[in-house]
Amino acid sequence: MNHTINNPAAIATHHPLAVRAAEEILLAGGNAIDAAVAAMVTLCVVLPGSVGLGGYGGSMVIYLADERKILALDFDSRAPREYRDDVYAPDAFAKSNNGYLALSTPAIIAGLSTALRDHGTKSWKDVTRFAAEVAENGFPMEPDSHKHLLKWQARTDPVSL
The pLDDT of residue 5 is 61
Q: Are 70 and 152 in contact (CB under 8 A)?
A: no
The pLDDT of residue 7 is 65
Angle between helices 124-137 and 16-27 (to 10 degrees): 140
The pLDDT of residue 3 is 63
Cα dihedral angle (118, 121, 124, 129), rounded to 10 degrees?
-150
**pLDDT tens readout for residues 37-64:** 999 999 999 988 777 777 777 889 999 8
Q: Are 25 and 122 in contact (CB under 8 A)?
A: yes
Measured at the CA of 36, the angle between CA 125 and CA 97, to 5 degrees, comes to 95
Low-confidence ranges of the chain (pLDDT < 50): none
The H-or-E segment that residue 148 falls in is helix 143-155
Return left, alpha or beta for 77; rule: phi > 0 is left, psi -120 to 50 is alpha, else beta: beta
Closest CA to 75 of 43, 34, 47, 116: 116
Query: From CA 35, how far away is CA 116, in angstroms rounded?
Result: 10
The pLDDT of residue 142 is 82
